[in-house]
Chains A and B, each alone.
Chain A
Amino acid sequence: MNYLMRRLATFPLVLLGVSILVFVAIRMVPGDSITAMLGTEAGLLTPAQRDSLAAYFGIDQPWFIQYWRWIGGILHGNLGISVTYGRPVLDVIIERFPLTLELAVLSMIIALAVGMPAGIFAATHNEKLSDLGVRIVAMIGQSTPSFVLGLLIIYTLSAGFGVLPAMGEFAPLWQDPLRNLSQMILPAITLGFAFAASVTRISRSSMLDVLSDDYVRTARSKGASARSVIWRHALPNALIPVVTLSGIEFGYLLGGAVIVEQIYALPGLGRMVLDAIQQRDYALVQGSVLFIAFNFMIVNLLVDLAYVALDPRIRLGES
């Protein structure tokens, strides 16, 4: 508990660092919101018009004033107003986030449901032909870019079976679960495939390590069956690297999957951030990067707590 409090206490510090980084980084990109919004027509603005627009957006102030205002707003729960959407940044993010979260969760479920059994299977059939097969598929999965796989899936389905992925207006899960799942399943498979490949490889190698440990030999000497040796004795010990990997991958997915969202035309966080950068929507970029960083920290914390649950030797917060 004490550990949890101390861990949470570090969150503001990390967020402060991230906020400075993103604030400076986005301002180092040439161009500004006005040019981005009006395009070539920005050249038609009189200096007075331009100044008043700049004053409206608050970008006429020195950067530290801008930063100070922004941070001050955040402390009051106000992430600023998005220039492109004309709405509060937090509202825009919260509108987009469920899709990204759902996609990340579905991909992870697919990755674990496929990757773990495949990894365990390969480990228990070490150096056999079936192990080689699993390893080759996993290698392909890890090295295939998601846009290739995504396009391949769409092409195969439409050309081969005449089925098109459900495009069109996106339906949130709580409004039309069936339609939502039909829209989400292919993107989730596309993302989950590479994820599953990593999980397969790490669970295979971790399982192989554990299977040669002394306590596995002890379990066998007690007369434990092959199944009990794998599931009861070896697997819990082999999970730590899998949890670490899944945590990192899941954290990345929470930041949005730009390419897959683009291919399947999904309104997720990734595309939103990309658009915001192109539009120099400073408030939206800054707000969403903070949001993504926050999510990442939460996931990391959950991963650390999972370690404790998995291995009684791990005690958090002790040197």
Chain B
Amino acid sequence: MTPLLSVSDLRVGFGRDRQANEVVRGVSFDLAEGETLAIVGESGSGKSVTALSINRLIDFGGGRITGGAMKLKRANGSLFDLMTATEPQLTGIRGAEIGMIFQEPMTSLNPVLTIGSQIEESFRLHRGLTGRQATAAAKDALDRVRIPDAARRLKYTPNQLSGGMLQRVMIAMALACNPRLLIADEPTTALDVTVQAQIMALLAELKRETGMSMIFITHDIGLVAGIADKVMVMQNGQAVEQGELNQILDNAQHPYTQHLLQDVPHFTNGSTTRSDGRRDKDASTEPALKVDGLVVRFPLKSSFFSRATGAVHAVDGVDFDLMPGETLAIVGESGSGKSTTARAVLGLVRSTRGSFSVGARKASAEQSALPVQMVFQNPYASLNPRLSIESILAEPVIATGGRVNVAAKARMASLLKRVGLPKNSLERYPHEFSGGQRQRLCIARALMLNPSVVVLDEAVSALDVSVQAKVLELLVDLQSEFGLAYLFISHDMAVVERIAHRIAVIYAGQIVEIGDATSVLSKPRHSYTKKLIAAVPTIDRRHEHFELDTRQVPSLVRPQGFEPAPARWEQFGRDHMARAEA
């Protein structure tokens, strides 16, 4: 039985000297019909390049296949040589026999064309359908990916749909002509965890319905367990290990696979939370940060002159306190208001109501000169590329009116050493550092003023999984060393589990559940928390059947003058409470 796809010794190079810049260095695998192969690896491992080589899209991305063989068994049983095929031959294969979906649904659809015409295109190209027939086929394709109200949505342009919906449209498009192979390149990485669960469920269902094969590329080995039959682990352009799913997950042979399975944060339902610094009942300790009734609203106006007709209730009555040396994680999905909360605490957005107190000092809602510092999500964008590290570290000192004197310089040196960067870093520039190193620089910058509270807004989300683990370790060490209080904003439950003492779950601008991390993660009480936790992929749940749930996050736009009903809280245990549900 010949496999559907057989790849042997694939080599791909970039640039002028392709031999020297080899990104994929001799990758081989076979894929049988109906089988799912997961390719796992971190950025730069060559996993995406491998995927793009299969349908030869790599030709347009600056890469060239320099060696190896790739054979595809076509629907009629003949063998198609993907290596030697000409571009016109390949256009007959792409979309018809090999479909592909990508990481960023927001940018992967043409913004100026309706989604209907983009789906119809597949039918026109490979099925010869036109006019009404094509429209009807496009509607069926949208139905198939469970998009409600498909006929009307056909006329939408991509900007009118959410990321999760767009990824469904992408899937509808890729599967329009029933390709026998679907390549999914990190299809859920840009999506919220509950949306990710929906997309994974959809892919699994469609795979069952059509019997297609799939190559699923991901950096998250936890996601693999739910969908793959076989796993290939890639590092530095080579497949370091491949085999059956269970064999890889339970009995990994290669040290890198073992590292991915053990050192990288995986979600374990609250059994690996931190054991240090439990909150005690000692009421004499002042909280490092106390937030009372925080409300952030953005008024909606139809034009400059007209009055506000309503408001976006981004944050609607959030209270919490944060003790020195403690980490409070705020978890929630995009649009839930978690980042707005953080920004309001720092005074980066103006809060509509509410008060903060930091340590003994009480600050009004508008004052921003608090001993609070922030570390942002994207270390590539949050360091000025034209400033040396020395200037970057001097910036907070200058901004608060201080002088860059010997003491400040000494602090720079000691902080750099403390976050694990070489001594000569001061004269260097941000581009000379890797993503993980840059985030260490951001952390050093945040600590320059010796703050009592550090707000970490998705601070490790942009990093590779194994770098993530190291930065988390550093954060934990710094916390105990300096007695820092962390406000840790994240969507990633696995990361939160590693660093949080307490967790606040935020949904539609309100905290729905808050309490001790172990308690919240192991015994969630609010239905949203349960849903959120159930959606987190883990290596222990294999081939699990996700329920398709098409509920959308409710609109946060409220009419003018709207006030939410006061929360009713139910107490569970010493430090765990959840909002009572209707």
A interface, CB within 8 angstroms of B: 6, 213-215, 217-226, 232-233, 236-237, 310-313, 317, 319
Within 8 A of A (CB), among B292-308: 301, 303-304
Stretch from B28-36, B93-101, B356-364 contacting the other chain:
B93-101
Closest chain B residue to A226, Cβ basis: B87
A233 to chain B: which residues have CB within 8 Å?
110, 113
In angstroms, Cα B94 to Cα A225, docked, is 10
A224, B91: Cβ atoms closer than 8 Å = yes
A222, B110: Cβ atoms closer than 8 Å = no
A215 to chain B: which residues have CB within 8 Å?
107-111
A217 CB contact (under 8 Å) in B60, B92, B99, B113: B60
Q: Is B173 an interface residue (CB 8 A)?
A: yes
CB distance from B157 to the nearest CB of A (A): 4
CB distance from B236 to the nearest CB of A (A): 24
In angstroms, Cα B100 to Cα A313, docked, is 25
Q: Is B125 an interface residue (CB 8 A)?
A: yes
Interface class of chain A by DSSP: helix
B126, A223: Cβ atoms closer than 8 Å = yes
A6 to chain B: which residues have CB within 8 Å?
303
Closest chain B residue to A221, Cβ basis: B100
Closest chain B residue to A315, Cβ basis: B159
B326 to chain A: which residues have CB within 8 Å?
none
Q: With A217-B60, A313-B159, A319-B304 as known contacts, state yes or no: A222 contacts B107, CB within 8 Å.
A: no
B507 to chain A: which residues have CB within 8 Å?
none
Q: With A214-B104, A317-B303 as known contacts, state yes or no: A223 contacts B112, CB within 8 Å.
A: no
A319 to chain B: which residues have CB within 8 Å?
301, 303-304
Q: Is B53 an interface residue (CB 8 A)?
A: no
A221, B94: Cβ atoms closer than 8 Å = yes
CB distance from A95 to the nearest CB of B (A): 42
Q: Is B55 an interface residue (CB 8 A)?
A: yes
Between B55, B91, B100, the greatest number of chain A beta carbons within 10 A of the residue's beta carbon is seen for: B91
9 contacts between A and B (CB under 8 A): A214-B102, A218-B173, A222-B125, A223-B126, A225-B91, A232-B121, A233-B110, A236-B113, A310-B112
We find that the number of chain B residues with CB closer than 8 angstroms to chain A is: 35
Which 5 pairs across A and B sit closest by C-beta, in order of nearness?
A223-B95, A223-B94, A222-B95, A221-B100, A312-B157
Closest chain A residue to B90, Cβ basis: A223
B125 to chain A: which residues have CB within 8 Å?
222-224
A313, B157: Cβ atoms closer than 8 Å = yes
Q: A224-B91, A225-B91 are in contact. List 20 more A-B contacts (CB 8 A).
A: A214-B107, A215-B107, A215-B110, A217-B61, A218-B109, A221-B94, A221-B99, A221-B174, A222-B121, A222-B125, A222-B173, A223-B94, A223-B95, A223-B96, A223-B125, A223-B126, A312-B157, A312-B159, A319-B301, A319-B304
Q: Is B496 an interface residue (CB 8 A)?
A: no
B122, A311: Cβ atoms closer than 8 Å = no
Q: Is B57 an interface residue (CB 8 A)?
A: yes
B94 to chain A: which residues have CB within 8 Å?
220-223
Between A222, A236, A312, the greatest number of chain B beta carbons within 10 A of the residue's beta carbon is seen for: A222
In angstroms, Cα B170 to Cα A224, docked, is 15
A236, B102: Cβ atoms closer than 8 Å = no
B110, A237: Cβ atoms closer than 8 Å = yes
B159, A219: Cβ atoms closer than 8 Å = no
In angstroms, Cα B159 to Cα A218, docked, is 16
B60, A218: Cβ atoms closer than 8 Å = no
A311 CB contact (under 8 Å) in B55, B112, B304: B112
- Against A, the Cβ 8 Å flags (1 = close, 0 = not) of B212-244 are 000000000000000000000000000000000
Closest chain B residue to A233, Cβ basis: B110
A312 to chain B: which residues have CB within 8 Å?
111-112, 157, 159
Closest chain B residue to A310, Cβ basis: B112
Within 8 A of A (CB), among B119-138: 121-122, 125-126
In angstroms, Cα B172 to Cα A218, docked, is 13
Q: With A313-B157, A313-B159 as known contacts, state yes or no: A221 contacts B107, CB within 8 Å.
A: no
B99 to chain A: which residues have CB within 8 Å?
221
Closest chain B residue to A312, Cβ basis: B157
A221 to chain B: which residues have CB within 8 Å?
55, 57, 94-95, 99-100, 102, 174
- Against A, the Cβ 8 Å flags (1 = close, 0 = not) of B144-184 are 00000000000001010000000000100110000000000
